């Protein structure tokens, strides 16, 4: 299973100018990106603010940027930097940050960076349409901005505009051919289209460029697994674990593939390893329940299903699997209850609808 792109777990981090969580879940931006925005002609107050910002002394940086604006009210760069710092300081209240970024754009319509930051703010507010518009504006103003192209790719994919997302990632790869992240993201998009040969090619390129990233190999393993190549999936997950021995999701993903290969006991051990590192990883609890069922331990499976649902009550898949377990035990009322909960979580779950319908028919006989 590929890493998801759920917005709830993927916020833009303003201390870098690019995504910290892109399609495949890997950090691509870093503090060095800010250095690209430092200009020799900047005022001393702006330079002091930048130095403080790089040290994550946000409150002090804000004071310096405000001082720069007091001295030069029409300084678009100071307004942009203030907006970015305000976004870091209080992610729950972006209004002032938005105002500063819009002021920077008004003062200098050719300045790309305020559009990028605005796009990140809108993305964090789950307004991906407006985010994409800002990222497009940034890439028009500065086509060679690597991070803006990555941002645009992310937003377009979230909107289902995968061709445009792919174009943005290709452009990012051209701008920085030494970076693996664009290739990994292209691989994810190919996989979402079930084009596994091209997906594997792109993620293998990402692994070549970034051979020390466990997350790259984890994504490669998931693409192999989705394509049905379980042996190569096991190899990729083991490569990820060699790089990051305590990576809980890599252990859990490996366990899921081992279960598909019929080795329930090895699958159980991998899920337990994942949970020793991350006890709140609900997916590992669900997968452990599946492996325990395969190992004829229904009591243990019930315990793990309950724990998975305690951690994530809205997981329709766990409710469905739990319902099937109850159904196999003849506990039809409990099974019906779980199917209903699955439909509350996902009203479009055809499996839950069918399961509930079948139970109703059996009761009416």
Q: Give the integer Cα–Cα distance in Å for 173 and 206.
A: 10
Q: What percent of the chain has pLDDT over 90?
A: 82
Q: What pLDDT shows up at residue 29?
A: 34
Q: Angle at the Cα of 21 (from 93 to 95), degrees rounded to 5?
A: 15
Q: Give the integer Cα–Cα distance in Å for 291 and 260.
A: 10
Tell me the residue ranges of DSSP E strands in 9-139: none
Q: What pLDDT shows up at residue 28?
A: 30
Q: Give the integer Cα–Cα distance in Å for 109 and 103.
A: 10
Task: Please determine, for residue 6, whether its predicted confidence score (pLDDT) is greater than 90.
Answer: no
Q: What is the mean pLDDT of residues 134-148?
A: 96
Q: Give the integer Cα–Cα distance in Å for 171 and 183.
A: 11
Q: Give the integer Cα–Cα distance in Å for 230 and 85.
A: 46
Question: Residue 136 CB: number of other CB atoms within 10 A?
Answer: 19
Largest distance between two CA atoms of the chain:
83
Q: Which of 17-31, 91-105, 266-280, 334-348 has the lowest mean pLDDT?
A: 17-31
| Structural tokens at position 365 | 């006989």
Q: What pLDDT shows up at residue 33?
A: 47
Q: How far is CA 185 from the centre of its chain?
A: 11
Q: What is the mean pLDDT of residues 21-35?
A: 36
Q: Give the integer Cα–Cα distance in Å for 64 and 87.
A: 16
Q: What pLDDT shows up at residue 109?
A: 97
3-state secondary structure of 51: helix
Tell me the per-residue pLDDT of 157-212, one tens digit each, with 9 for 90 and over.
Answer: 999 999 999 999 999 999 999 999 999 999 999 999 999 999 999 999 999 999 99
pLDDT band for position 40 (cuts 50, 70, 90): confident
3-state secondary structure of 344: helix
Task: Please determine, for residue 353, whether its predicted confidence score (pLDDT) is greater than 70.
Answer: yes
pLDDT band for position 41 (cuts 50, 70, 90): confident
Task: Please determine, for residue 9, whether its predicted confidence score (pLDDT) is greater than 70.
Answer: no
Contacts of 194 (CB under 8 A, 6+ apart): none
Q: What is the mean pLDDT of residues 111-115?
A: 94
Task: Please determine, for residue 320, whether its predicted confidence score (pLDDT) is greater than 50.
Answer: yes
Task: Please determine, for residue 342, whether its predicted confidence score (pLDDT) is greater than 70.
Answer: yes
Q: What pLDDT shows up at residue 67?
A: 96
Q: What pLDDT shows up at residue 90?
A: 84
Tell me the per-residue pLDDT of 57-87, one tens digit each, with 9 for 90 and over.
Answer: 999 999 999 999 999 999 999 999 999 999 9
Task: Please determine, for residue 56, whether its predicted confidence score (pLDDT) is greater than 60.
Answer: yes
Tell me the per-residue pLDDT of 216-231, one tens digit each, with 9 for 90 and over.
Answer: 999 999 999 999 999 9
Q: What pLDDT shows up at residue 1?
A: 53
Question: Residue 222 CB: number of other CB atoms within 10 A?
Answer: 26
From the list 113, 57, 110, 127, the residue with the least C-alpha distance to 84 is 113
Q: What pLDDT shows up at residue 126?
A: 87
Q: What percent of the chain has pLDDT over 70?
A: 89
| Structural tokens at position 169 | 């990632």
Q: Give the integer Cα–Cα distance in Å for 21 and 23.
A: 7
Contacts of 131 (CB under 8 A, 6+ apart): 119, 120, 122, 123, 151, 155
Q: What pLDDT shows up at residue 112?
A: 94
Task: Please determine, for residue 298, whether its predicted confidence score (pLDDT) is greater than 80.
Answer: yes
């Amino acid at each position: 299973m590929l890493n998801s792109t759920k917005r709830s777990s993927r916020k833009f981090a303003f201390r870098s100018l690019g995504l910290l969580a892109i399609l495949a879940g890997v950090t691509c931006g870093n503090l060095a990106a800010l250095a690209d925005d430092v200009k020799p002609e900047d005022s001393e107050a702006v330079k002091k603010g930048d130095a403080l910002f790089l040290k994550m002394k946000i409150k002090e940086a804000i004071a310096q940027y405000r001082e720069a604006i007091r001295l030069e009210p029409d300084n678009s760069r100071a307004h942009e930097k203030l907006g970015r710092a305000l976004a870091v300081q209080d992610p729950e209240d972006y209004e002032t940050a938005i105002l500063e970024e819009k002021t920077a754009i008004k003062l200098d319509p050719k300045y790309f960076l305020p559009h990028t930051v605005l796009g990140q703010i809108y993305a964090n507010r789950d307004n991906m349409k407006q985010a994409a518009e800002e990222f497009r504006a940034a890439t028009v103003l500065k086509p060679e901005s690597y991070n803006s192209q990555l941002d645009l790719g992310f937003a377009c994919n979230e909107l289902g505009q995968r061709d445009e997302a792919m174009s943005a990632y290709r452009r990012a790869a051209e701008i920085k051919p030494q970076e693996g992240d664009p290739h990994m993201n292209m691989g994810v998009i190919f996989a979402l289209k079930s084009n596994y040969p091209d997906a594997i090619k792109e993620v293998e390129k990402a692994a070549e460029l970034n051979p020390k990233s466990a997350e790259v190999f984890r994504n490669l393993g998931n693409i192999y697994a989705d394509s049905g190549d379980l042996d190569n999936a096991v190899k990729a997950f083991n490569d990820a674990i060699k790089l990051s021995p305590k990576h809980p999701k890599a252990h859990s993903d490996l366990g899921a593939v081992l279960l598909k290969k019929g080795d329930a006991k090895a699958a159980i051990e991998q899920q337990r390893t994942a949970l020793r590192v991350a006890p709140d990883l609900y997916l590992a609890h669900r997968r452990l329940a599946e492996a325990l069922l395969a190992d004829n331990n229904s009591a243990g499976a019930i315990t793990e299903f309950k724990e998975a649902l305690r951690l994530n009550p809205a997981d329709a898949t766990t409710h469905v699997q739990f319902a099937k377990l109850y159904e196999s035990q003849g506990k039809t009322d409990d099974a019906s209850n779980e199917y209903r909960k699955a439909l509350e979580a996902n009203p479009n779950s055809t499996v839950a609808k069918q399961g509930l319908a079948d139970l109703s028919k059996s009761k009416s006989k």
